[in-house]
Amino acid sequence: MSVSTAASAQSVRAPLPVLGRDVTVPLVTGGEVTYAALDYAASAPALQRVWDDVAAYAPYYGSVHRGAGYLSQLSTDLFENARATVAEFLDCRPDDQLVFTRSTTDSLNLLAAVLPAGCQVFVFETEHHASLLPWKDAQVSYLDAPRTPAQAVATLEAALAGRDGQGPALVCVTGASNVTGELWPVRELAAAAHAHGARIVLDAAQLAPHHPVSVKDLDVDWVAFSGHKLYAPFGTGVLAGRADWLRAAEPYLAGGGASRTVTRRADGGVAVEWHETAARHEAGSPNVIGAYAVASACKALTEAGFDTLVARERHLIDTVRAGLAEVPEVRVLSLFGEDAPRVGVISFVVDGWNSSHFAAALSAEYGIGVRDGLFCAHPLVRTLLGSDPQSQGECGAPEAAPGEKSLNAIRVSFGAGTPDEHVERFVTAVKQLVRDGAKWHYHTENGRCVPTT
């Protein structure tokens, strides 16, 4: 599909300009329209400021922690200053370690790799797969989906009270659901975990782009998030928190940078002394540009002010929810109910429509990009949808298991780079599609619902 750019006056209404705000895309019905990127929960567009910062640094790119040359020293300082900036953004404790990884998934797999022997892990079935699946080498208790924040705390307390022995334990919980956008009672869950001698890691992938995250205030032991959801380009994640388990474990990756000294042994092997710092789990040449981009995004969000950003996002959330409420055929998915506080992530189904078909029509006929499927949170979406399948429609669900071809949902998500016009167009498009139907025919091709040509 060809794309072009054109001035978009509406984009200036977003508090933080993003790349792609002027991109236009063709419609199957003819003409072009400015693309409405409403899939922030998957990957938020990079902030213009972040891109500009990276471009300004690019000519000075050099090896990190390795070279004596000026550019190497500059890049090393930039990398370590980025670490300090992100730690400040997260309000880390003075003795916390902050490790740069590839993503939230990588961060949580790193933590899973350093768990002490015999560690028990407690995780709700409502988690994203990134926080649901890494614990394969631990004794895992999967907790049923709660229907209120209070029930979440009570469920965790009961599970922890009944755990085997008094050995190490870890609770993994999301800060904001990637399906419903609902905020979880992180502070209360942390208190429950600590009361029973457990630690807690916060998956802040969906929370950090929308709300301030304070390791101290929430009293979590670790926090993980991804740069690509925080308005930075792909390729960098963060794991920040207590250092003892990180220091005690073998490196997540073995190689240069993680090792302090390597010597030959008399038996012909090698003896390795590993670093005690974050470098222990950052083997190889680090992604200095990625780390710098994340730090730039942290600065931009902090300077814009979360109070301002949260207030405006609530306006967008209210606009979408009010518009969807006017369509009887739409059912918004929720664990905690209509009044639960949330970020700009809303999932729903439409009676008479398969969600893949609906999402394809939004894209092809209105230039609106949303998500459809099970959102890498299959147990949660199945719980929310229940056993009643949606109508088949013209296309099936690309992520559904055999026998569940019509079991999927639509997700709209937005943030600091979203102009009002995008959510207003989305609401209008939903109403028109439900009232009038699609203007085009669609079919499944390579697992995706696409317009028929």
| Catalytic residue, candidates 92, 119, 298, 376 | 376
Euclidean distance between CA atoms 293 and 238, whole angstroms = 12
Q: What residues have CB less than 8 Å from 382, skipping those under 6 apart? A: 374, 407
Residue 251 phi/psi, 5-degree rounding, is: -55, 145
Q: Could you list the beta-strand ranges (E) of 301-357.
A: 330-332, 345-350
3: how many CB neighbours lie within 10 A of its CB?
11
Number of Cα atoms under 13 Å in the Cβ half of residue 194: 12
Give the angle 222-220-188 at the CA atoms, nearest 5°: 150
Q: Which helix (H) or strand (E) holds 259?
A: strand 259-264
Euclidean distance between CA atoms 46 and 102, whole angstroms = 16
Euclidean distance between CA atoms 113 and 142, whole angstroms = 19
Report how far Cα 310 is from the mean position of its chain's Cα atoms: 17
Euclidean distance between CA atoms 207 and 182, whole angstroms = 10
Task: Tell me, yes or no, if 449 is annotated catalytic.
Answer: no
Provide the b/e sequence for 293-309 (b: ≥16 CB within 10 Å).
Answer: bbbbbbbbbeebeeeeb
Q: What pairing do the DSSP bridges indicate for beta strands 169-174 and 199-203? A: parallel
**CA proximity to 145, closest of 321, 345, 378, 361:** 378
Residue 47 phi/psi, 5-degree rounding, is: -65, 145
DSSP state of 348: E
Q: Which helix (H) or strand (E) holds 382?
A: helix 378-385
Q: What residues have CB less than 8 Å from 95, skipping those under 6 apart? A: 243
Q: Which residues are catalytic?
A: 376
